[in-house]
């Protein structure tokens, strides 16, 4: 049978990385088995639909390269299908019209002191087509404003298999006769979801574990219709980086990291924070999936090969932004110089103005190891573009000014040497031992002059690229400053 997995978000807000991970696992399970990945928009709750949310979902999936083979299929276009199936259940006596008003329900809840469940324990005391006669039911149907509920059988153990957790059983006493068609004529999530999964020949339902509690009702609906249920996978929650609970937009903001793949209103996404789609996909694949090896870096194609549903974890996966940066780094460092330059328009313009293509690529190769995000490209290139805009004040405080003057004098007197960084290094070493200054100290001072702080790529490479004039100029600038 052709594997068909669907990602079925409700357009009630932007696509959070929890949703992205669900989409990814759907994609991987479908593609691993040579199957199809489908996007279904569950938009029957029109009151909760947020403008722009569907576009955000689709744009996010496209940026991530999670191309869907079918869709977006919108539930709001399929009302006829749900109505038809509701009628079938009513005819079979497995669903019924309910006429209870909100105040009837409030009263029933109040009388039961909080234990009320609309099911076989209370059904026959409520206003529905089982309790009202045929004529009264007919009259009330004409008036409209009714809903339809599914019948939950009495005292039944409902068995289900979750591919992540194994065999599960639920007691029907815990369940309610859930509303399947609302008084506005729209289906609820439960009905539309089951009808569509059947109609769309979905073989695997992969969703967040918050839907696990709906599983027994869904299993019962499949049984009522006489359909075979698909396989179910309920994915563990993505937990905030510290403390208990699931990762929210607010936690992400507090911790200073994105929570959406791409920008939503004024919240920047991972894309804008300089993540590559490969890096984000790779990190999310490892979030809740145990690959049982030390391997960290995967492309999407490699994930399709390597992913196995056996490795999906049962317990929550803690979000770790440092790890996400690290995984993104692993991808960036394997990018070609050309692809890296394409990530920063500013960098490619500035480098293009100053250096040949060949040198520009050499520079990019030098900084590759130092990139966590694409935003680091501009930061790391600054040293090749112009003299430091500011100097690390802590380092300036600590540095021995005499050493900087000595280096300046040395470099001035041996200007020709600067054009030969290899020889410069050797001569600086012997100069250091003559003067009793450690080579480490010399390097620190020189780095402060050229870079403005103690980070950056190999110093002699920097000197080779920026050239003797600029090197001397930068040493002089700092000596003037101090
Ligand atoms: N519309 C549900 C959601 O927003 C889908 C759950 C499911 O995949 O069954 O998560």
Axis-axis angle for helices 345-354, 357-367 (nearest 10) = 130
Protein residue whose Cα sits closest to atom 2 of ligand 1: 9
Protein residue whose Cα sits closest to atom 5 of ligand 1: 8
Q: Name the token pair of 150.
A: 């599914």
Q: pLDDT, tens digit, for every residue of 389-434?
A: 999 988 888 887 788 888 777 877 777 777 888 888 888 888 888 8
Cα–Cα distance for residue pair 230/220, rounded to 1 Å: 13
Region 259-269: what's the mean pLDDT?
A: 97
More confident residue, 383 or 348: 383
Q: Is 260 helix (H, G, I), strand (E, B) or coil?
A: strand
- In this structure, the residues whose C-beta lies within 6 A of any atom of ligand 1 are 8-10, 42, 193, 205, 207, 211
DSSP string, 301-333: HHHHHH--GGGB-SS-EE--HHHHHHHHHHHHT
Strands (E), 14-108: 36-41, 70-74, 95-98
Pocket mutation for ligand 1, best pick of 211, 231, 246 (most atoms within 8 Å of C-beta): 211
Instruction: Find out whether 321 and 367 touch, Cβ atoms under 8 Å.
Output: no
The region of weakest confidence among 315-324, 346-355, 362-371 is: 346-355
Contacts of residue 25, defined as CB under 8 A and 6 or more positions apart, other chains included, come to 206, 233, 235, 288, 289, 312
Using the 8-state DSSP alphabet, how is residue 414 labeled? Answer: T
Instruction: Find out whether 57 and 15 touch, Cβ atoms under 8 Å.
Output: yes
Q: pLDDT, tens digit, for every residue of 296-329?
A: 999 999 999 999 999 999 999 999 999 999 999 9
- What pLDDT was estimated at residue 252? 92
The CA 220 to ligand 1 mean position distance, Å, reads 18
Mean per-residue pLDDT over the chain, rounded: 94
Q: Is 212 helix (H, G, I), strand (E, B) or coil?
A: helix
Label residue 114 by pLDDT band (50, 70, 90): confident
Which atom in ligand 1 lies closest to the alpha carbon of residue 7?
8
Pocket mutation for ligand 1, best pick of 8, 219, 222 (most atoms within 8 Å of C-beta): 8
CATH of domain 81-181: 3.90.800.10
| pLDDT for residue 195 is more than 90 | yes
Q: Name the token pair of 199.
A: 């109609």
Protein residue whose Cα sits closest to atom 10 of ligand 1: 9
- What pLDDT was estimated at residue 470? 92
Active site residues: 249
Instruction: Find out whether 443 and 340 touch, Cβ atoms under 8 Å.
Output: no
Which atom in ligand 1 lies closest to the alpha carbon of residue 189?
1
Percent over 70 (pLDDT), the chain:
100
The CA 409 to ligand 1 mean position distance, Å, reads 70
The CA 301 to ligand 1 mean position distance, Å, reads 26
Label residue 112 by pLDDT band (50, 70, 90): confident
| pLDDT for residue 271 is more than 90 | yes
The CA 351 to ligand 1 mean position distance, Å, reads 47
The CA 206 to ligand 1 mean position distance, Å, reads 9
Label residue 370 by pLDDT band (50, 70, 90): very high
Cα–Cα distance for residue pair 321/318, rounded to 1 Å: 10
Label residue 480 by pLDDT band (50, 70, 90): confident
Pocket mutation for ligand 1, best pick of 4, 5, 9 (most atoms within 8 Å of C-beta): 9
Instruction: Find out whether 75 and 41 touch, Cβ atoms under 8 Å.
Output: yes
Q: Which fold has domain 393-481?
A: Arc Repressor Mutant, subunit A (1.10.10)
Protein residue whose Cα sits closest to atom 3 of ligand 1: 9
Strand partners, 41: 74
Domain ranges of the chain: 1-72+236-332, 81-181, 337-385, 393-481
Q: Name the token pair of 257.
A: 């990291």
- What pLDDT was estimated at residue 266? 93
- pTM to 2 decimal places: 0.92
Q: Which fold has domain 1-72+236-332?
A: Rossmann fold (3.40.50)
């Amino acid at each position: 049978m052709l594997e068909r997995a669907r990602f079925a978000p409700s357009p009630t807000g932007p696509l959070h990385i929890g949703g992205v991970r669900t989409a990814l696992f759907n994609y991987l399970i479908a593609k691993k088995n040579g199957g199809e990945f489908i996007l279904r928009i569950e938009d029957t709750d029109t009151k909760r639909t947020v403008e722009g949310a569907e576009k955000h979902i689709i744009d996010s999936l496209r940026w991530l390269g999670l191309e869907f083979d079918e869709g977006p299929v919108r539930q709001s276009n399929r009302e006829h299908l749900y109505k038809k199936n509701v009628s079938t259940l009513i005819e079979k006596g497995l669903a019924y019209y309910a006429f209870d008003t909100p105040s009837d329900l409030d009263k029933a809840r109040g009388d039961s002191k909080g234990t009320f469940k609309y099911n076989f324990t209370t059904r026959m005391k409520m206003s529905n087509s089982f309790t009202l006669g045929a004529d009264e039911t007919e009259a009330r149907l004409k008036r409209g404003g009714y809903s339809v509920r599914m019948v939950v059988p009495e005292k039944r153990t409902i068995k289900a298999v979750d591919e992540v957790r194994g065999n599960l059983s639920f007691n029907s006493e815990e369940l309610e006769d859930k509303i399947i068609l609302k008084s506005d004529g729209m289906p609820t999530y439960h009905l539309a979801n089951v009808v569509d999964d059947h109609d769309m020949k979905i073989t695997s339902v992969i969703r967040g574990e918050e839907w696990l509690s709906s599983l027994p009702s869904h299993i019962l609906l499949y049984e009522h219709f006489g359909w075979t249920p698909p396989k179910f996978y309920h994915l563990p929650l993505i937990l905030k980086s510290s403390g208990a609970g699931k990762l929210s937009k607010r936690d992400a903001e507090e911790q200073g990291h994105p929570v959406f793949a791409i920008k939503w209103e004024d919240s920047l996404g991972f894309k804008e924070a300089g993540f590559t789609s490969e890096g984000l996909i790779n990190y999310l694949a490892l979030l809740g999936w145990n690959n049982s090896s030390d391997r960290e870096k995967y492309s999407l194609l490699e994930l399709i090969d390597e992913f196995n549903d056996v490795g999906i974890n049962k317990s929550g996966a803690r979000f770790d932004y440092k790890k996400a940066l690290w995984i993104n780094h692993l991808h960036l460092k394997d990018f070609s110089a050309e692809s890296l330059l394409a990530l920063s328009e500013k960098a490619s313009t500035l480098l293009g103005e100053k250096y040949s293509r060949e040198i520009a690529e050499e520079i990019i190769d030098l900084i590759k190891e130092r990139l966590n995000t694409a935003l680091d490209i501009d930061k790391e290139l600054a040293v090749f573009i112009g003299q430091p805009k500011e100097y690390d004040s802590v380092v300036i405080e600590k540095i021995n000014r005499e050493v900087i003057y000595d280096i300046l004098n040395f470099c001035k007197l041996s200007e020709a040497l600067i054009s030969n960084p290899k020889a410069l290094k050797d001569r600086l070493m012997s100069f250091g031992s003559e003067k009793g200054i450690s080579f480490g100290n010399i390097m620190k001072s020189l780095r402060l002059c050229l870079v403005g702080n103690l980070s950056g790529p190999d110093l002699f490479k920097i000197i080779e690229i920026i050239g003797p004039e600029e090197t001397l100029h930068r040493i002089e600038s700092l000596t003037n400053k101090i």
